[in-house]
């Protein structure tokens, strides 16, 4: 449990888990059966039932409906969410007070947070990157304040800003601030558990939708549409990470509509690239390739080099999944050759940056593992791990699982299990669906050594998670 989960939150999470287990058993369902019905991973359900995971609202709602709990689960969830939110506000305010008043100097490029922003936590913020905006100085947001406290205080400011925008003339400066904030969400995604980020993105999206419902000038509406597309895309990615690929597809489709209206080709390319990861993880690489190509059709019409290079890396990944090593290498070379032209302000979630330029070793390394080119994959995966900051627990876990797979491919069974165990040594709320998928893929690779103590210990850990 993270630092926001005080004893009252912990006890409420345990009570919710017990109530969920009671309703599931009363319905005569095993965990896997319920997980299949609500399109969540069984490991996530297991963590919630044991009180080790604070559930997402969507998860609680789906369980309530599937188990015909008549609002009992949702009532307990609201009580749990209210207690956790109260604690989150206290922690965010305290952290910012210490940060702002404990030092006489403010870091260069930092955002000043007014005292009023320390009072409550809520949120709404947005981002745009159409062709005319792709070179805006978004990078000045990078690296100022990281972590949940930044997200909390930033959210308060932006919610107040968006409320002020409603019913009044929306100014360019107001939109500049919201665009900067959504870039920050892209950057924070890797650091925060999806359950922590999801409610903020949801609230911001609702606020921006309200602004779009009002009469706006063509320019303002275009930029708001771009903001809405970014938020819906982040929500789609979060939904997939939380184990609901069906809903993720729906949100990606919803995100594309405002992106197209905004004529934001880079955003549309990013959305389709992110969407391609859903069939990629399920093994439908042909469908993934088709989505990537649609993304490339948009991305090629933008000035965003990072999106173009990233989509080339995703194309290479799809070719690797299809077993076409030659096509993989051709697409990967295109991606690698474009990296020098990428800019920090082009960064979106799913893209790694190192030394202020795009880094696609994450995708190249995992693609080489798929092609079973373990010798070539290992140094690339080493570079991919180096590109991940210490706080990027989810991405680091996936890279380590890929590295473990290279050891399995070389019949280095004990080493594969050791590396995989290290990869799974992360908080439960950071263990997203793609991590579970990678771990299960590794177990299939280790199937010839079933019964070996190290393999069985790893299997038990994967099943328990």
State residue 93's pLDDT score. 56
Alpha carbons 72 and 97: distance in angstroms, whole number:
38
Token couple for 275: 């969407």
Strand, coil or helix: what is 217?
A: coil
Residue 135 forms part of a structural domain: yes
Res 290: pLDDT: 97
Which one, of 354, 380, 349, 358, lies nearest residue 367 by Cα?
A: 380
CB 31 within 8 A of CB 46: yes
Non-local (6+) Cβ contacts of 82 within 8 A are none
| pLDDT value of position 465 | 67
Dihedral of the alpha carbons of 265, 271, 277, 278, in degrees to the nearest 10: -140
Token pair, residue 108, equals 């260069």
**Cα 337 to Cα 169: distance, rounded to the nearest angstrom:** 44
Q: To which residue do tokens 């409550």 refer?
A: 120
Which residues is 354 bridged to in the sheet? 357
Residue that the structure tokens 């280790």 belong to: 446
Distant-in-sequence, close-in-space partners of 275: CB < 8 Å, separation ≥ 6? 236, 248, 249, 252, 291
Residue 433 lies in a domain: no
Same domain, 44 and 145: no
Statement to judge: residues 61 and 162 lie in one domain = no
Asked if residue 125 and residue 43 are part of one domain, the reply reads no
State whether residue 412 is helix, strand or coil. coil
Pair 197, 53 in one domain: no
pLDDT, position 173 = 80
Among the listed residues 213, 207, 196, 266, the one whose alpha carbon sits nearest the alpha carbon of residue 231: 207
Say whether both 79 and 122 belong to one domain.
no
Task: Note whether residue 29 is domain-resident.
Answer: yes
Q: What does the pLDDT read at residue 217?
A: 86
* pLDDT for the residue 332: 96
Question: What confidence score (pLDDT) does residue 95 get?
Answer: 53
From first to last of its 465 residues, the chain has per-residue pLDDT tens of 343 457 888 899 999 999 999 999 999 999 999 988 887 778 889 989 998 888 877 788 889 988 999 899 989 988 888 887 777 666 655 654 554 454 443 333 332 323 332 222 223 333 333 333 332 322 222 233 334 444 454 444 455 555 555 545 677 787 888 888 888 889 889 988 998 888 888 888 888 888 888 888 888 899 999 999 999 999 999 999 998 999 999 999 999 999 999 999 999 999 999 999 999 999 999 999 999 999 999 999 999 999 999 999 999 999 999 999 999 999 999 999 999 999 988 989 999 999 889 999 999 999 999 999 999 999 999 999 999 988 899 999 999 999 999 999 999 999 999 999 999 998 888 989 999 999 999 999 999 999 999 999 999 988 876
CATH number, domain at 35?
1.10.260.40
Which pair of structure tokens corresponds to residue 85?
A: 């939110």
Instruction: Print burial letters for 240-270: b (CB count within 10 Å at least 16), e (below 16).
Output: bbbbbbebbbebbebbbebbbbbbbbbbbbb
- Could you list the residue range(s) of the whole structural domain that residue 31 is in? 7-14+16-22+24-87
47 and 139 both lie in a single domain: no
- Nearest-angstrom CA–CA distance, 242 and 436: 11
Asked whether residue 228 is domain-assigned, the answer is yes
- Strand, helix or coil for residue 352: strand
Same domain, 124 and 250: yes
Is residue 214 within 8 Å of residue 166, measured between CB atoms? yes
* pTM, 2 dp: 0.68
Q: What is the per-residue DSSP string for 58-96?
A: HHHHHHHHHTT-TTHHHHHHHHHHHHHHHHHHHHHHHHH
What total number of domains does the chain contain? 2
pLDDT at 42: 83
Q: Which of 332, 298, 300 is nearest to 313 (CA)?
A: 332
């Amino acid at each position: 449990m993270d630092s926001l989960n005080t004893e009252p939150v912990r006890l409420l999470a345990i009570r919710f888990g017990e109530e969920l287990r009671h309703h599931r058993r009363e319905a005569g369902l095993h965990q896997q059966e319920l997980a299949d019905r609500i399109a969540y991973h069984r490991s996530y359900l297991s963590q919630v039932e044991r009180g080790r995971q604070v559930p997402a609202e969507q998860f609680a709602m789906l369980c309530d409906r599937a188990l015909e709990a008549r609002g009992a689960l949702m009532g307990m969830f609201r009580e749990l969410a209210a207690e956790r939110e109260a604690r989150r506000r206290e922690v965010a305010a305290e952290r910012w007070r210490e940060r702002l008043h404990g030092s006489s100097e403010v870091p260069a490029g930092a955002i000043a947070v007014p005292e009023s922003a320390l009072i409550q936590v809520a949120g709404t913020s947005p981002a745009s990157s159409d062709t005319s905006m792709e070179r805006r100085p978004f990078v000045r947001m990078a690296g100022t304040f990281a972590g949940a406290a930044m997200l909390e205080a930033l959210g308060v400011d932006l919610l107040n800003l968006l409320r002020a925008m409603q019913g009044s003339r929306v100014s360019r400066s107001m939109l500049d601030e919201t665009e900067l904030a959504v870039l920050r969400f892209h950057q924070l995604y890797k650091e925060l558990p999806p359950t922590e980020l999801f409610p903020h993105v949801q609230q911001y999206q609702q606020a921006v939708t309200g602004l779009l419902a009002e009469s706006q000038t063509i320019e303002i509406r275009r930029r708001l549409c771009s903001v809405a597309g970014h938020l819906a895309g982040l929500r789609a990615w979060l939904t997939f990470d939380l184990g609901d690929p069906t809903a993720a597809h729906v949100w990606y489709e919803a995100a594309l509509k405002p992106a197209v209206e905004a004529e934001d080709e880079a955003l549309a390319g990013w959305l389709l690239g992110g969407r391609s990861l859903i069939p990629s993880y399920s093994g439908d690489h042909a469908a993934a390739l088709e989505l990537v190509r649609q993304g490339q059709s948009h991305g090629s019409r933008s000035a965003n080099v990072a999106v173009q290079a990233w989509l080339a890396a995703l194309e290479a990944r799809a070719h690797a999944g299809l077993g076409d090593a030659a096509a993989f290498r051709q697409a990967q070379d295109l991606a690698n050759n474009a990296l020098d032209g990428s800019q920090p302000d082009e960064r979106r979630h799913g893209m790694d940056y190192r030394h202020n330029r795009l880094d696609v070793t994450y995708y190249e390394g995992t693609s080489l593992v798929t092609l079973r080119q373990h010798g070539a994959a290992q140094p690339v995966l080493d570079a991919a791990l180096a590109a991940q900051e210490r706080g990027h627990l989810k991405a680091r876990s996936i890279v380590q699982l890929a590295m473990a797979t290279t050891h399995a491919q070389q019949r280095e069974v004990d080493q594969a299990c050791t590396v995989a165990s290290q990869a799974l040594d992360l908080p439960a709320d950071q263990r997203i669906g793609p991590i579970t998928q990678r771990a299960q893929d590794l177990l299939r690779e280790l199937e010839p050594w079933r019964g070996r103590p190290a393999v069985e210990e790893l299997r038990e850990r994967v099943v328990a998670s």
